[in-house]
Amino acid sequence: MFDPKEFVEEAVERLRREIGDRKAIIAVSGGVDSTTAAVLAHRAVGENLVCVFVDHGFMRKGEPERVRRVLEEELGLNLRFVEAADEFFEALRGVTDPEEKRRIIGEKFIEVFERVAREEGAEVLVQGTIAPDVIESERGIKSHHNVGGLPERLELDVVEPLRDLYKDEVREVARYLGIPEEIVERMPFPGPGLAVRVLGEVTPEKVEIVREANAIVEEEVERAVEEGKMERPWQAFAALLDCKATGVKGDQRDYGWVVAVRIVESIDAMIADVPEVPWEVLRRIQDRITSEVPDVTRVLFDLTPKPPATIEFE
């Protein structure tokens, strides 16, 4: 039986030993993994840990503000905010291949992070890598951007306090550490963000569409969960397909984007299933997306488990 108290005591002790009195740095995203790793390291070395949030422009709606509020104000972490959206969009211009997109985002992330790490004089890198990230990257299924890359280039000593944990265990640790439920229960979100939910070329316009659609999916699913209409799924999100389709709005022909809605159940993201979702919830999601998000004419529901699909679209 996993014991979060015992885990925390050992992890903090180990981090204290590994970091010593050197300066440490961690890239935080506002997700449960990086926040948990940051709080553990903060317990171990206090202000000697700098938490860097790189806003690459592919965050969920309201996420940068939320991260600032929770990590800085509520958890008291030493947060450094880096606004880098223009650089990321520029680097992705004209790129359509999914793995190429992931590679470029990973590279850019390292470049930005490296700059900050130098400025801060950091010698140790703390990472929130968890067990499935390591396994999937090793199997070559997807290049998770928090595995490899950063450590190799940065010449920093790497410590990964969550490397042996699965998500449910990370959540137990997070709760034990007093991390707010809005982070503990927050649905997993990929490192490259909404960029892997925009199929094909990533443009500010397409990211804005998927950001709005995604917020609607999350809101409506959360509402349905609170009303007891469904269980909270592992993830619920929107992706923007790389095509347009004919529609009619008012009595005018409209040629607009196609949004896919994906809702999955999973324990550890290695496999996933698609639960039955009440029809009224799906209809409400569709209705809100086509009426509130400009230029979307169709909403599709993805029925595919993992395997054969992956959870994210790219």
Taking the alpha carbons at both ends of the chain, their separation in whole angstroms is 35
Residue 30: CB minimum distance to ligand XMP, A:
12
Q: In angstroms, what is the minimal distance from the CB of 95 to ligand XMP?
A: 16
DSSP letter string over 203-239? -HHHHHHHHHHHHHHHHHHHHHHHTTSSPPPSEEEEE
Using CB atoms within 10 Å of the CB of residue 148, give its burial: 0 to 12 exposed, 13 to 18 middle, 19+ buried.
middle
Q: How far is the CB of 143 from ligand XMP (least distance, A)?
A: 7
Minimum Å distance from CB 240 to ligand XMP? 16
Least distance between ligand XMP and beta carbon 90 (Å): 20
Residue number with CB closer to ligand XMP (144 or 171):
144
* Closer of 131 and 230 to ligand XMP (Cβ): 131
CA dihedral 154, 159, 161, 165 (to 10 degrees): 60
Q: Which is nearer to ligand XMP, 69 or 306 (CB)?
A: 306
Helix (H) or strand (E) holding 107: helix 98-120
Beta carbon nearer to ligand XMP, 45 or 198 = 198
Both tokens assigned to 234: 């592992």
Q: Which is nearer to ligand XMP, 124 or 195 (CB)?
A: 195
Q: How far is the CB of 291 from ligand XMP (least distance, A)?
A: 27
CA distance 124 to 14: 13
Cβ proximity to ligand XMP: between 143 and 297 the closer is 143
Distance separating alpha carbons of residues 175 and 34, to the nearest angstrom = 14
* Burial degree of 133 (CB within 10 A; 0-12, 13-18, 19+): buried
Instruction: Identify the sign of the CA torsion 195, 200, 205, 210.
Output: negative
Q: How far is the CB of 307 from ligand XMP (least distance, A)?
A: 9
* Contacts to ligand XMP by CB under 6 A: 136, 142, 144-146, 188, 190-192, 235, 269, 306, 310-312
**CA within 13 Å, CB half, 245:** 13
Residue (228 or 308) nearer to ligand XMP, CB: 308
By beta-carbon proximity to ligand XMP, the closer residue of 214 and 235 is 235
CB 58 within 8 A of CB 195: yes
Q: Least Å distance between CB 103 and ligand XMP?
A: 11
The rounded distance, in Å, linking the Cα atoms of 82 and 85 is 9
User: Distance between CA 111 and CA 183 in Å, rounded?
Assistant: 27
Selection from 192, 22, 222, 12 nearest residue 92 by Cα: 192
